[in-house]
Structure 1
Amino acid sequence: MDSVQSRFTQLSGALSRQIIGQSQLVERLLLALLADGHLLVEGAPGLAKTRAIRELGKRLEGSFHRIQFTPDLLPADLTGTDIYRPQDGSFVFQPGPLFHNLILADEINRAPAKVQSALLEAMGERQITVGQKTYHLTDPFLVMATQNPIEQEGTYPLPEAQLDRFLLHIRIDYPPVETERQILALARAEAVAGIGTPGSASLEPEVQRLSVADLHQARQEVFALHLADNLEEYLLQIILATRRPQPYGDDLAGAIQYGASPRASIALDRCSRARAWLAGRDYVSPEDIQNLAFDVLRHRVILSYEAEAGGMTVDRLVGELIARIPVP
């Protein structure tokens, strides 16, 4: 294992010790970082979503900023705005919180559409436009947005164009009892050490921060990882089946209103390579593609009214497609 992979292994281990019981969240965070994409996390309050990206920020060269989305938020609260200077009559651009490396968009669906749309250009093109000027964002730039699935009042569903810009959409659940016992032990240890307040120290031994140069090297290795031609065809067939599922069963005909966009193909390709690289392999396996298909497609496929009325879910549909599409 080379040095860059070793550093990512150390990073994964350090995050797992601080974010107990959410191994999938830790892995997906690293996949988003390696694949240069954004993450949408859905889960009940208290499941370490905020803690996860904050701990990642401590171990990555760059800056972290949390944005609490509320109904009264304005687009300029994200992007920044031109400030008038009366002493010389000029305008000076004051950057907003999007000019950080790691962004936590907490409860993103609590802000109205005009605020959510402020993220579209930032997430898609890594730049923002204020007035007549365009400003490039910092590199790396990763948005982890959270939304609470149990509250609907006072929320604004994310538009499809916004959802499509997220590399992955993951759902996390409550930990089992043994894991929760470990969480209690960690919380007690932190309380005894006086941890838990902003700027406090960590129980975790000092971990070398991952540099931007290391991240760029890791991404180059990930994108160069071998993907066999037959596996690439398998990946594409999964995506195409979300647009035309009829060949895989009459029961799936008419189940989909809109299939996944080409962004889904790119996301599944990049994330499959990143997962294989994190595992120390120099090739992508069918299991990498199957494992990530749910998180890549969950927010990109829109079911028909008839399918939803019949109890179909996107996860169930993706599971059926994976079971029916021949594995090379």
Structure 2
Amino acid sequence: MTLPAGIRRLVIPTTLPVGNVNVYLIEGAVPTLVDCGPWTVEAATALWEGLGEAGIDPSAIRQVVLTHPHVDHAGLAAEVARMSGAPVLAHPEAGPTLAAPGAAIRRTVRHLEAWGRRHGVPTPTLGRIIHSYTRWSALTEPVEVFTWLEAGDLLVAGDSVWRVLHTPGHSSGHICLFREEDGTLLSGDHLLPGIPSSPLPEPSVDGRTRPAPQILYLAHLARLAALDIRHVLPGHGEPFSVTRELVATRIAQVHAKANEVCRLLELEPRTAWELCSALFPQVGEENLIFALANTAGYLDLLAAQGRVAPLEDRSPVVFSGVPFVDGLLRNRRAS
């Protein structure tokens, strides 16, 4: 797909399972970078070279917009801010992670450890997942956010006005930018080519209920169907044209996988780890965190629909379809 006018795509290498990440330069009166890439020498070199090929000196950048605080998108933000003097803009819910990424990763690791033990992930496997995730902390550094972007805000970038869309799910502080004049959506990781986005784990903050990112993702994905989106510039992969039918397809893909979970639980109760192994039998260990996150998301979705429930007094937790649970309770009452 030919990129819309005034936008350049810079492909930045990462050492993460997701592969390369896209950074977008919006050219014009207010030169703007959307995302930055991870904090590595290779990524920084690719970013500076990409700007040079566009004829842009880093000092010319006037603002940096972060779609979300994950290291592959935000890791270089502090470096870019130092080089350019440009302010960093992000959603308020991304703030704690951007300000203290190491602490945020430690919180997530504690959440992963507790969740993994509770849901039957083998100890050696869980240890390797956590070790791999912890290494992500080396790919970012703290960054001070100058301006908070809220849902519905209007932002001037390049020569155009963009509307800020708050799209939690993949990350609670995720935003997209939408240019109504030509239907261009800078989608970050909310809308990707080929597959639905993974709802990555986030611990509860300040004692609040643990987020259910899969449910949030579906709700905010559905809202995109109301927009006249014609061009999607994603955080990973090739830009693509979009229709409302594509958004519906992404939603249907999530529900189809959730229905597969129900079918598995009709055969026998299972732990989340057993479900993950059945749903993603070929997944490599480097992608296990995404497989587990999706499995947890399907269970959250099905529980909210009243279709699955944990059996009582099991460790690790075992899930079953609600008809099985109802039958078990009836048998107990009869006895």
On whether the aligned pair clears a TM of 0.5, the verdict is: no
TM-score, with structure 2 as normaliser:
0.28
Where relative contact order (Cα < 8 A, 6+ residues apart) is larger, the structure is: 1
TM-score, with structure 1 as normaliser:
0.28
